[in-house]
Structure 1
Amino acid sequence: MTEFQIPPPRKRGVLASLRASFLTGLVVVLPVGLTLYIAWAFIGWIDGWILPLIPAAYQPEALLERMFGPEVNFPVRGLGVIVFLIFTIIIGWIAKGLIGRSVINWAEGLLDRTPVIRSVYSGVKQVTETFFGTKEKSFDKTCLVEFPRKGAWALGFVASKPKGEIAERLPGGEDYIGVFVALTPFTSGALIFVPAKDVIMLDMSTEDTAKMVVSAGLVTPTPKVIEA
């Protein structure tokens, strides 16, 4: 019998090698480039709102001209972000004091008596407190929930428990939680209220869950060792 021999692997051509190198470089460059572009655009968006409120003498271009002369002239971004951060920190520090709370309560009372505006302010305030408030954490845990039918499981973000009329009208005898089911590519989703016993809690972080949803499952988190 003749011994079976495995043929040697074919060498890649020049075009195939260039294509593989291009794809490898794209995997490295694209995430970094998109991140820098989004950060640059976000900083420019904030500057577009804040810089018009700053006097012309304190604009970045004017400061550069005074420091280095008129020959140095190039666009500078980031001053609006710095001003916004300082302003927000000062407002938060004032709001924690007695006088600040009194002023805020007076302003909220004024807004609550204004038609249309009170509805907008109330909705924005609830959303802001949900994401940034310290009283109740939402969207800091992820889970699996049967959606959109029984037997099909979807990734979800644990929201707050139902309150008000929703809590009163849900069938009694169950402990319900709100789950936001994000849809790929994360442009929309569904908020559902399900019994807590029907939800499978996950150890995945919200960042890993968001990446998995946005990438349609292409990006999966590193599996953790589950203790028995």
Structure 2
Amino acid sequence: MKKYFIAGMLVWAPLAITIWVMTWGLSVLDGVFGSVMSALMAILPSALKPALQSFRDLPGVGILIVLAIILATGVFAANFAGQWWIKLWDRIITHIPIVKSIYSSVKQVSGTLFSSNGNAFRKAVLIPYPRNGSWTIAFVTGTPAEEVAAKLGAEHVNVFLPTTPNPTSGFFMIVPRADIIELEMSVEEALKHIVSMGSVPPLSQSVPSAK
């Protein structure tokens, strides 16, 4: 019975986790659309609210609209006119107290993470954790701030240490460059290795030939 139960878990666990992650992502998109619709219903005349609510209740419409808006925004931002409007929008936002701090910080982080020219999450490394002699996989996210680097002296790097089996949480650490060991495996392969708690080897790992 134990053998059959484990075999069944191996079949259903990947599917269940995949569905859970996709459901979470889709619910976030649908929640964004729902918040916008709620704001519109608060300011629109009462005669229009039933029709708007019926539209809101259509299955999947929120997800499709949010995805379409994101795609349309990307197309708009890729041309000269769109870039001009975005710069104007940034100037307006950066003059609003409190909002400017949050907006500029999030914009800088997202630009670093999603930029094709950035170095964040481009390299998997080994770092000693939680003590010397023990090692774990982390991802290089950049270099320390000037003040931090000046106080530390030796060259250091910023790394993100994900947890397992949920790599969306983890720790931000600053470690000496001399203590890290760069890996040849890709970031995707390293993530699979972490999520599987080390049971799934990277695809690039050479497999010994059968004798």
**Unmatched segments (≥5 aa) in structure 1:** 1-15, 62-74
Aligned to 1:209: 190
Between the aligned partners of 2:71 and 2:200, the Cα distance in structure 1 is 36
Aligned to 1:11: none
- Report whether the alignment pairs 1:191 with 2:158: no
Between the aligned partners of 2:20 and 2:131, the Cα distance in structure 1 is 39
Greater than 6 Å deviation, 4+ residue runs: none
Normalising by structure 1, report the TM-score: 0.69
Equivalent of residue 27 in structure 1, options 10, 19, 25: 10
Show CA shifts across 1:7-32 (max 9, x none).
xxxxxxxxx4xx42232122101211
SS in 1 for 2:73: helix
Q: Residue 162 of structure 1 contacts residue 193 of structure 1 at CA under 8 Å; is this kept in 2?
A: no
Aligned to 2:30: 47
The two structures, once aligned, show a CA RMSD in angstroms of 3.0
Q: Residue 193 of structure 2 contacts residue 201 of structure 2 at CA under 8 Å; is this kept in 1?
A: yes
Cα offset, 1:179, TM superposition: 2.0
SS in 2 for 1:28: helix
Between the aligned partners of 2:117 and 2:158, the Cα distance in structure 1 is 17
Equivalent of residue 161 in structure 2, options 160, 181, 199: 181
Aligned amino acid, residue 157 of structure 2: I
Change (3 A) 1:30 1:151: closer
Aligned amino acid, residue 28 of structure 1: V
Q: Residue 178 of structure 1 contacts residue 191 of structure 1 at CA under 8 Å; is this kept in 2?
A: yes
Cα offset, 1:111, TM superposition: 2.2
Task: Flag the structure with higher helix content.
Answer: 2
SS in 2 for 1:190: strand
SS in 1 for 2:107: helix
Give the greater-gyration-radius structure (CA): 1
**Unmatched segments (≥5 aa) in structure 2:** 41-50
Between the aligned partners of 1:43 and 1:92, the Cα distance in structure 2 is 20
Aligned to 1:85: 67
Cα offset, 1:200, TM superposition: 1.4
- Report whether the alignment pairs 1:224 with 2:191: no
Change (3 A) 1:21 1:111: same
Identity of aligned residues (%): 28
Aligned to 1:107: 89
How many equivalent residue pairs? 192
